[in-house]
Amino acid sequence: MQIEKYYFASEITVLGVCFVMLVLLFVSFKVRMKSFRIFVTMLSMLIVATCADLTLHYVIAGHPDAPRPLVYGLRSVYHVLLFCLLHHYCAYTCEVTNLPAKQRKPWIILATAMLILFSVADVVGIYSGRTMHIIDGEIAFEGSAIFSAGYIAFVTMLLALLIRVRHRLYKRVMNGFFGVIAISEVVLIVARLRGQSTYTAATFLFPLIAVMYLMHSNSYDIHLGANDLRGLNNLIRYSDEHDKHYLFLSLYMRELDETGKTFSEEMRALIRHVAESYYRGSALFQVSNGHMILMVPISRNPDYEERTRRTLEQFDVEYENFRYDFKMVIGQSTKELSRKNEYISFIRSIHARIPENTIYRVQPDDLNKYRKYEIILKELADIAAKQDPEDRRVLVYCQPVYNIRTGKYDTAEALMRLKNDELGIVYPDQFIPLAEENGYIHALTEIILAKTCRVLRNLVAEGYEITRISVNVSALELRDSDFCGDISRIIDGNGIDSSRIAIELTESRNDNDFMLMKERIEELKGKGITFYLDDFGTGYSNMERILELPFDIIKFDRSMVIAGSQSKRSEQVLGSLAELFSKLNYSVLYEGVENEKDEQMCCDLNASYLQGYKYSKPIPISELRGFLARG
Ligand code: C2E
Ligand code: CA
Ligand code: CA
From 411, 472, 536, 617, mutation site for ligand 1 pocket: most ligand atoms within 8 A of C-beta: 472
**474 pocket-lining for ligand 1 (C-beta < 6 Å):** yes
Provide the pLDDT for residue 389: 96
CATH of the domain at 255: 3.30.70.270
In whole numbers, what is the pLDDT of the chain averaged over residues? 91
Last residue of a domain, one of 300, 335, 362: 362
Residues 418 and 566 placed together within one structural domain of the fold: yes
Share of the chain above pLDDT 90, in %: 66
Residues 490 and 545 placed together within one structural domain of the fold: yes
Provide the pLDDT for residue 617: 97
Burial class (CB within 10 angstroms; exposed 0-12, middle 13-18, buried 19+) of 289: middle
Last residue of a domain, one of 338, 362, 386: 362
Residues 241 and 196 placed together within one structural domain of the fold: no
From 432, 470, 474, 536, mutation site for ligand 1 pocket: most ligand atoms within 8 A of C-beta: 432
CA–centroid distance, residue 589 to ligand 3 (Å): 10
Phi, psi of 384 (to 5 degrees): -65, -35
Least confident of 146-160, 379-393, 487-501: 146-160
Provide the pLDDT for residue 67: 85
Exposure string of 20-57, with b = 16+ CB inside 10 Å and e = fewer, is ebeeebeeebbbebebbebbbebbebbbebbbbbbebb
CA–centroid distance, residue 561 to ligand 2 (Å): 15
Is 605 a member of any domain? yes
First to last CA, the chain: 119
Q: Over range 493-501, report the average pLDDT.
A: 96
Which domain range does residue 270 map to?
Answer: 229-362
Of residues 134 and 240, the one with the higher pLDDT is 240
Last residue of a domain, one of 362, 391, 425: 362
Residues 347 and 415 placed together within one structural domain of the fold: no
Contact 472, 414 (CB under 8 A): yes
Tell me the pTM: 0.70
* Whole-angstrom Cα Rg for the chain: 37
CA–centroid distance, residue 609 to ligand 1 (Å): 16
Provide the pLDDT for residue 142: 60
pLDDT tens figures, 368-427: 999 999 999 999 999 999 999 999 999 999 999 999 999 999 999 999 999 999 999 999
Q: Whose CA is nearest to atom 24 of ligand 1?
A: 428
**534 pocket-lining for ligand 1 (C-beta < 6 Å):** yes
Burial class (CB within 10 angstroms; exposed 0-12, middle 13-18, buried 19+) of 183: middle
Phi, psi of 472 (to 5 degrees): -80, 135
Give the Cα separation of 257 and 421 in Å (integer).
Answer: 34
Give the Cα separation of 95 and 21 in Å (integer).
Answer: 21
Residues 251 and 209 placed together within one structural domain of the fold: no
Residues 424 and 539 placed together within one structural domain of the fold: yes
Least confident of 40-54, 61-75, 414-428, 540-554: 61-75
Residues with CB under 5 A from ligand 3 (ion): 534-535
From 415, 531, 597, mutation site for ligand 1 pocket: most ligand atoms within 8 A of C-beta: 415
- Which atom in ligand 1 lies closest to the alpha carbon of residue 432? 45
pLDDT band, residue 90 (cuts 50/70/90): very high
CA–centroid distance, residue 460 to ligand 1 (Å): 25
pLDDT over threshold 90, residue 63? no
Q: Residue 281 in 3-state DSSP? A: coil
Provide the pLDDT for residue 501: 98
Give the Cα separation of 277 and 255 in Å (integer).
Answer: 27
Q: Over range 197-225, report the average pLDDT.
A: 84
Residues 294 and 198 placed together within one structural domain of the fold: no
Q: Which regions of 537-573 does DSSP assign to beta strands (E)?
A: 553-556
Number of domains in the chain: 3
Give the Cα separation of 336 and 343 in Å (integer).
Answer: 10
Q: Over range 60-71, report the average pLDDT.
A: 83
Give the Cα separation of 142 and 133 in Å (integer).
Answer: 8
pLDDT tens figures, 113-145: 999 999 999 999 888 877 777 777 677 666 557
CA–centroid distance, residue 532 to ligand 3 (Å): 10
Residues 464 and 610 placed together within one structural domain of the fold: yes
**425 pocket-lining for ligand 1 (C-beta < 6 Å):** no
pLDDT over threshold 80, residue 1? no
pLDDT over threshold 80, residue 17? yes
**618 pocket-lining for ligand 1 (C-beta < 6 Å):** yes
- Which atom in ligand 1 lies closest to the alpha carbon of residue 618? 11
Residues 451 and 355 placed together within one structural domain of the fold: no
Say which ligand is closest to the CA of 594. Answer: 1
463: left (phi over 0), alpha (psi -120 to 50) or beta: left
**594 pocket-lining for ligand 1 (C-beta < 6 Å):** yes
Q: Whose CA is nearest to atom 26 of ligand 1?
A: 428
pLDDT band, residue 539 (cuts 50/70/90): low
Of residues 5 and 533, the one with the higher pLDDT is 533
Residues 209 and 291 placed together within one structural domain of the fold: no
* Edge-to-edge strands, sheet with 226-227: 226-227, 283-288, 291-297, 246-252, 327-332, 358-361
Contact 470, 533 (CB under 8 A): no
CA–centroid distance, residue 581 to ligand 2 (Å): 19
Q: Whose CA is nearest to atom 25 of ligand 1?
A: 415
CA–centroid distance, residue 159 to ligand 1 (Å): 67
Burial class (CB within 10 angstroms; exposed 0-12, middle 13-18, buried 19+) of 78: buried
**307 pocket-lining for ligand 1 (C-beta < 6 Å):** no
Contact 219, 29 (CB under 8 A): yes
> ∠ CA 140-143-144 to the nearest 5 degrees?
120
Residues 480 and 618 placed together within one structural domain of the fold: yes
Is 387 a member of any domain? no
- Report DSSP state, residue 10: H
Residues 435 and 288 placed together within one structural domain of the fold: no
Residues in contact with 61: Cβ distance below 8 Å, sequence separation at least 6, in sequence order: 137, 138
pLDDT band, residue 318 (cuts 50/70/90): confident
CATH of the domain at 30: 1.20.1070
Is 178 a member of any domain? yes
pLDDT tens figures, 570-595: 999 999 999 999 999 999 999 999 99
Give the Cα separation of 509 and 241 in Å (integer).
Answer: 46
